[in-house]
Chains A and B, each alone.
Chain A
């Protein structure tokens, strides 16, 4: 047991910090600091390019594919420092969802073609898993792909497709054998979003943002070469992807940055003539979250180092997901509370053509964000589904 960072790890942290100080554009950090985490496509692409130039974009990829091949501690350090510096988050769909699947199950041609394009930003991927009738019960998905010679013809609908409006490619789970048992008739297909027959329709979320979409497929022709691995084995690949989706699921860095933001606000706000941070009720709420977060950060390190040493990330990933999202949501609740009556304005519309903040400059997006972040416990496998995984793994029994 040794909780201290090695000299190499400390040097790495210094390097990361220096990089962030010199290369993270100030305007970008300011936007993130303000809580505008709906950055423009250009902002996100620019940040990817900066990281890629340094070789730090694909942090968990092996070196042979152009990755940084960081270990768990390095990733943790970067995550902490990036959040502290208000760096934008890395868009995960290509880098940490699709890429691991291609590396493990894709053909050599697919790897050579797609992986470099993820790194250099040529392709923006989105995730086509969920359907209107297939949420938690993903295996009930209906979008079907019928083989006609060297093409599949795809028909159906995906939904909740995050940032699908920016994507030029989508990786999809499709049903290729309607007669097989649910999980056994699914394939993993790569689809060019420019193919005729694809329509992307926006879904506006409750905070007024456009971050998810419906994606409709009508007789969409997809070359058989775009099949990943074997036909009808897609469920295996999908589950493999989900274990990667769950790395960094604890979101410790985000929570740490969020808590710092709450503290900044609580120092600036006054309640009954004193700084809010001295208000016993508010201070107690903050302290409780901070204590939970300290424990989570340690759990996260414990679990990810075990995984790095070869232990499979099993139910621990589910545990990190549940606790991590609950903590992040609690921090968002604190931020909303902290600004008092100035949580009421709805700035996303109000700031149009008028950039003066309403009330203190930090207040703007906080209440809207509180609502937006309810998504954290719904997507990526809802917290109920995670609890089912934990309970069923330990105790068996029916769902």
Chain B
């Protein structure tokens, strides 16, 4: 057993933390949040230059990392700084899926910071049910025809390509029969309705109306997209858990700092034991969350069932702790934390809203129970 980061990962963490601390200030981020694009092209280019995107890919994919712990290190720092740039979408969900499907050309561009991607998987009624796909893919001569609707597709507007899941066979909720296709954003029949998200960044509702694609657009074999999809989403789970952890660390730090400086009744409010114990509880839970990220990241390469059981455990625990930390941090700050300009407001939103991506606390509890049975 060794719980230390390797030298490379330690360096990655230090570099990224320093860069974000210097460049990604509250003012800078508030400016980004208010911008039309919803993220900064400049920050994006620098993340690529620092090797942050490359660290999310394994060597054979053109990267220099890509393991669970690399992803965890990067996302913990992104979470700490409340970064809204679409690293999750372009690099993890999009890039890693394309890499696994062997589309190295586009992956190179992603690592270089030159291409954006989006995974268009969820649908208006699929909620967190990952195998629920009603969007249809049908063969027409040598071509493929894609029709359907995709919901809350994060980063869709910036993406040059969308990876769309669609059903070629089977029932609406079967894992078998789901195909993945790579769709250029400017293809005829694809329309986006974009909007900002509560925790920053942008997403869109995607309508696919008889979109005609060459057969080469299909990633992997017909109807066999589920394995690619679920392996990629497993990476995203680790990333989300680590991001929430980093954000929680920020929330707790902000709270401790504030409790030390805010004076009421002639003394710092941090001298009230009613608050001290709650800070202690947050710190205890934070250690639990850190361990959950570690066990999820460490089992990413295990067999699917072991991997998924640890992921479900981690996301459940972090969903629970995340809510506690976000709510308690706001409460112990008082009114100041309710203001949009204050750092904690954004951080708290990042924490809570991770619980709405790829399954919430309850969903992961159910998954854990199912995966633990038999």
Contact = CB atoms under 8 A, between A and B. Distances in A.
B124 A359 contact: yes
Given A273-B129, A281-B362, A346-B198, 10 more contacts: A135-B335, A206-B338, A206-B346, A207-B198, A341-B127, A341-B356, A346-B197, A371-B352, A372-B338, A399-B265
A140 B197 CA distance: 40
Interface in A270-320: 270-273, 279, 281-282, 285
A60 interface: no
Given A208-B340, A341-B127, A347-B195, A382 B362 contact: no
A272 B129 contact: yes
B305 interface: no
Interface of B is mostly: mixed
Most B Cβ at <10 Å: residue of A359, A371, A383: A371
B256 interface: no
A335 to B, nearest CB: 13
A381 to B, nearest CB: 11
A269 interface: yes
B275 interface: yes
A378 B331 contact: yes
B122 A388 contact: no
Contact of B365 (A281, A346, A384): A281
B237 to A, nearest CB: 15
B136 to A, nearest CB: 19
B59 interface: no
Contacts of A359: 124, 151-152, 205
Interface of B: 122, 124-125, 127-129, 151-152, 154, 173, 193, 195-199, 203, 205, 263-266, 269, 272, 274-275, 323, 327, 330-331, 334-335, 337-342, 345-346, 348-349, 352-353, 355-357, 360, 362-363, 365-366
Interface of A: 130, 133, 135-137, 140, 159-160, 203-208, 269-273, 279, 281-282, 285, 329, 333, 336-337, 340-347, 349-350, 358-359, 367-368, 370-372, 374-375, 377-379, 382-384, 387-388, 399
Nearest to B353: A344
B274 A346 contact: no
B361 to A, nearest CB: 8
Given A137-B264, A345-B203, A368-B198, A340 B338 contact: no
Q: Of residues B197, B338, B360, which shows the largest number of chain A Cβ atoms within 10 Å of its Cβ? A: B338
Q: Which of B198, B275, B342 is most buried by chain A, counting CB atoms within 10 A of its CB? A: B198
30 contacts: A130-B335, A133-B263, A135-B335, A136-B264, A140-B265, A206-B339, A206-B340, A206-B342, A206-B349, A270-B127, A279-B362, A281-B365, A337-B360, A340-B360, A341-B151, A341-B357, A343-B198, A344-B197, A344-B198, A344-B203, A345-B198, A347-B195, A371-B198, A371-B345, A371-B348, A375-B338, A378-B330, A384-B331, A399-B265, A399-B272
A117 to B, nearest CB: 30
Contacts of B264: 135-137, 140
Nearest to B332: A384
Contacts of A387: 274
Contacts of A337: 355, 360, 362
A339 to B, nearest CB: 8
B129 A136 contact: no
A350 B204 CA distance: 11
Contact of B195 (A160, A203, A206, A358): A358
Contact of A350 (B195, B334, B339): B195
Contacts of B127: 269-271, 340-341
Contacts of A349: 195-196
Contact of A344 (B152, B173, B345, B366): B152
A10 B372 CA distance: 53
Contacts of B330: 374, 378
A135 B128 CA distance: 42
Contact of A358 (B193, B272, B362, B365): B193
